[in-house]
Every structure is written in structure tokens, then in C-alpha cells.
Amino acid sequence: MSIVVVGTIGYDTVDTDHGSVSEALGGSASFFGLAARFFAPVSIVAAVGTDFKPEHWQLFRERSIDLRGMAQIEGPTFRWHGRYHEDMNIRDTVSLALNVFAGFKPDLLPDQQRADYVFLSNISPDLQLHVLSQIASPKVVAADTMNHWIANERPALVKLLPRLDLLTLNDEEARMLSGESNLVRAGRAILKMGPDTVLIKRGEYGVLKFSADAMFAVPAWPLEEVIDPTGAGDTFAGALMGWLARTGRVNESILRTGIVYGSVLASFVVEQFSVDRLAALTWEDIQERYRAFIELTDSHHSRWMSQ
């Protein structure tokens, strides 16, 4: 079953203590799509400018990503420039230019309106609602958000939350949205605001899942080196939604497996700048790290019982 994602596609400039990249392919829809496509067909709704490079159209097309929902608009593509601290959990936005994304109000294609899986990536809640309103009867609606929308667009965000099956956000955003400093309280408070499942992303410390059924805590894959954390959250969401679409249903077991696949794909994307690692990734790479991840976190140790 296919997935529709609405979000940005743009060019990123990223500075870290270990290196930099400029004008590299980025944006939430890029990372999401390149992760989700391993699991299920994915259709991107986004806007790019006339400077969007042919090689990047090509990169998506070669990976069977549906681009019919991409508008090419006169003007420059979305740009973001970020700088990571030595502690890579912290970053500053040096500059941000929406460019052709400003004022983008997409009309979905008829088949996109019948999508079962929808991901509303980190864009304004109004735009998230605008896209969602066009989808007839989605099975799973997931969204991401950020501090900017929580602070400045709270009413629209609060209106969106009850319509979500799944909300992803990081620990700082969860504290901000809920007003609770303790993460467990924050997760539970956000559940009461509407989403069936809340996923708090804690970077190198993993993910906490809150839902009425059960809490789930999973560490991140331990990496010896992180080159560029950009896109990890969207990559996580892409693999998770991809897994849900691939299985065609949702229960606790399927959600947990999806969260692990999300963690696995996110652990790959940060190994290189931009989408480079995702673009080079194979299904075998994913399966190998998935199995290793299960062994890493297997606290009831069935695999080890025979030792």
C-alpha cells in the first residue's frame, strides 16, 4: 500500500566540527522518501525551484519514487544552512530560505487522495491540515513537528493532534508542547492531546513510544562516528511508515518492528553527509543491521539461552 509524504525538498549547507557540505540534497521529504521506498511505494508532495538539478530528479526516479506531486515553480529551491556543535545533539540554524516553498498549497492528485498512509513532515500545521483534508480515508496518519510551530502555531497544531495516529517529536519539543519537564509525563500528556501513539526521539539515546496499550523504550544503534545528524528523524519516520504500509496493519508488534527499522535506517543516514548513505544503501545492509540491532537490545535473551 502506498504512502504520501508532504514536506520540503531543498539544498542544505551543513557545518560540523569534522567537515562541511554545501548545496547538498536535503529536506524532510527527501530523507523520508529515500527511507520509505525500501518498504513500500512512496509519493512525494513538494515544491522545487527552477534550479533543482536534473541529477536529483534522477536520483529519486531511479529509486522508484513517485514525483508526479512535485511542483516545479519559477524561482530558487528551499535552502537551509545548519551548524552542529561538538555535542551533535545541538545545532543552530544559520539561515533558512523557504523560496518557492513559501505559499505552496498543493492539490493532491486523485490517487494521492485515496492514500492509506500519510506523513505530514515538519511544515506548518495549517499546511499539514490542508493536505490531510484532501485525503479521503487514510489508515495511518503520522506527523512531525518542531519548536517553531509549537511556539507560534499552537492552535492549528492542537487542532491537528486528534487526527493523528502517530506524532513524532524530539525530547525538547515534547517538553515544550506538554509543559512537563519529565519525559514520561510529557509523553502521557501529549497522548491526551489526541494522537494514538507518541514517539519521542532522543537522538543517540533512542526512542520512547507512548500509547494506551504499552510503553516501548529502545536505545539507538551505538555508532563510533556520526558525520551528519541531518535527516535522522525523517529517515526514522520513513522506515517506520514504510514498514506499516508494507505489513498493511498496525498492532504493538508491528509498531515495535517499525520503530526498530526506523532506528536502523536513521543509524545509516548519519554515517555520511546529506542523503549519500541512504542513496547507496541496499536491502541486505538493512537486514544485516536489523538482525544485529535485535541482538544488541535482546534483554530477554532468547537467542542466548543455549550458551
Contact region with a second copy (CB under 8 A), list: 23-31, 105-113, 160-168, 294-302: 294-302
Stretch of residues binding a second copy (CB under 8 A), selected from 39-47, 64-72, 76-84, 221-229: 221-229
SS3 59: helix
143 sits near a second copy (criterion: CB under 8 A): no
Residues 49/90, Cβ–Cβ less than 8 Å: no
If binding is defined by CB under 8 A, does position 212 make contact with a second copy?
Answer: no
Distance separating alpha carbons of residues 216 and 196, to the nearest angstrom? 14
Smallest separation, CB 117 to a second copy (Å): 20
171 binds a second copy (CB under 8 A): no
Q: Give yes or no for residue 305 binding a second copy (CB under 8 A).
A: yes
Q: Rounded to whole angstroms, how far apart are CA atoms 252 and 275?
A: 30
Which of 23, 113, 112 has its CA nearest to residue 66?
A: 112
Applying CB under 8 A, the span of 106-114, 138-146, 156-164, 215-223 interacting with a second copy comes to 215-223
Is 170:176 a contact under the CB 8 Å cutoff? no
Least Å from the CB of residue 302 to a second copy = 7
* Beta carbon nearer to a second copy, 2 or 89: 89
Rounded-to-integer distance, Cα 170 and Cα 291, Å: 26
Q: Is residue 100 a contact point for a second copy (CB under 8 A)? A: no
Give how far the C-alpha of residue 105 lies from the chain's centroid of Cα atoms, to the nearest Å. Answer: 21
End-to-end CA distance of the chain: 41
Q: Which one of 22-30, 37-45, 142-150, 217-225 is the stretch in contact with a second copy (CB under 8 A)? A: 217-225
Surface-to-core class of residue 172, CB atoms within 10 Å of its CB (0-12 exposed, 13-18 middle, 19+ buried): middle
Question: Using the rule CB under 8 A, is 288 a contact of a second copy?
Answer: no
Angle at 145 between CA 44 and CA 114, to 5 degrees: 35
Binding positions for a second copy, rule: CB under 8 A: 86, 181-185, 202, 205-206, 208, 214-220, 222-225, 251-253, 256-257, 259-260, 293-302, 304-305, 307
